[in-house]
């Protein structure tokens, strides 16, 4: 169980696979590296896969300062961890909050990216504290797991990461600068705000591809991994293999 000290924090990470192009997965709010358990076997045979726990999540260290959970801070964590493991160019996948992190990496370090996949995320989360929209579908067998994850997080990490996400400046006026080949993926039963945000990203990012997955909510990589993996593999292999 390797840890790396990044920006003064111990971050948990795992490397899988012995060869191929690097592939980095960034999880979402209240998630952790186990969000990608159904992707490890699928992709580690052909790619060198990095998964990790964002600050305050999973086994990574959680600052007590709630102001320490900005998207920029998580982006910097990710970039330094990626450098720590020796990846110079890589495919990047970001889920939900991790999609915000991934967009910032794409906007500031585009030369490092082989491709970008944004799934069940948005160009902005600034309105997510306000009423409105529909809730995502969550399979009953995943409800207890989600509740257990939240219970394991510190109150500071939970509140801080949510504040960091909703205070994120967003990419509305900047996403057109992303020239990396991009795939937008979302579950058709996700929250309406996330679906709207995903569709808006398709409009904002030049030449972005889109894949919608029927019957699933916010986490198709866990709810319907076969179809999710197929969409991701076709994108990576068809355009960048």
User: Which CATH class name applies to 3-240?
Assistant: alpha beta
Q: Who's near 140: CB < 8 A, 6+ residues apart?
A: none
Q: Who's near 185: CB < 8 A, 6+ residues apart?
A: 117, 118, 119, 120, 198, 210, 211, 212, 213, 220, 228, 231, 232
**What is residue 177's predicted lDDT score, i.e. its pLDDT?**
98
Read off the pLDDT of residues 138-193 as tens digits, 9 standing for 90 and up: 988 888 888 988 999 999 999 999 999 999 999 999 999 999 999 999 999 999 99
Residues of the chain with pLDDT under 70: 1, 239-241
> What distance lies between CA 173 and its chain's CA centroid?
21
The pair phi, psi for residue 73, each rounded to 5°, is -65, -45
Q: 3-class SS at 212?
A: strand
Where are the strands (E) in the chain, listed by range? 3-6, 9-16, 21-26, 47-52, 90-95, 113-119, 182-187, 209-213
Distance CA 190, CA 204 (A): 20
Distance CA 114, CA 80 (A): 18
**Domain residues of the chain, as ranges?**
3-240
**What is residue 208's predicted lDDT score, i.e. its pLDDT?**
97
Residue 203: CB atoms within 10 Å: 13
**What is residue 240's predicted lDDT score, i.e. its pLDDT?**
46
Look up the pTM and report it. 0.97
């Amino acid at each position: 169980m390797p840890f790396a000290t990044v920006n003064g924090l111990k971050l948990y990470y795992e490397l899988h696979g012995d060869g191929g192009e690097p592939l980095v997965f960034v999880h979402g709010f209240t998630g952790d590296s186990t969000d990608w358990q159904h992707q490890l076997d699928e992709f580690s045979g052909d790619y060198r896969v990095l998964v990790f726990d964002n600050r305050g999540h999973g086994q990574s260290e959680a600052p007590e300062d709630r102001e320490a959970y900005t998207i920029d801070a998580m982006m910097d964590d990710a970039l330094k961890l990626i450098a720590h493991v020796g990846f110079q160019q890589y495919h990047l996948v970001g889920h939900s909050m991790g999609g915000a992190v991934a967009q910032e990496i794409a906007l500031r370090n585009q030369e490092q990216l082989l491709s970008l996949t944004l799934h069940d995320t948005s160009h902005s989360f600034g309105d997510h504290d306000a009423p409105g929209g529909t809730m995502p579908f969550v399979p009953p067998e995943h409800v207890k797991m989600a509740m257990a994850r939240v219970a394991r997080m510190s109150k500071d990490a939970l509140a801080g990461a949510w504040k960091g996400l909703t205070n994120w400046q967003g990419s509305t006026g900047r996403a057109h600068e992303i020239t990396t080949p991009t795939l937008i993926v979302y579950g058709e039963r996700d929250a309406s705000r996330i679906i709207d945000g995903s569709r808006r990203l398709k409009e904002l990012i030049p030449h972005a591809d889109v894949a919608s997955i029927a019957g699933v909510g916010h986490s198709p990589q866990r709810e319907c991994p076969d179809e999710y993996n197929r969409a991701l593999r076709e994108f990576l292999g068809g355009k960048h293999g």
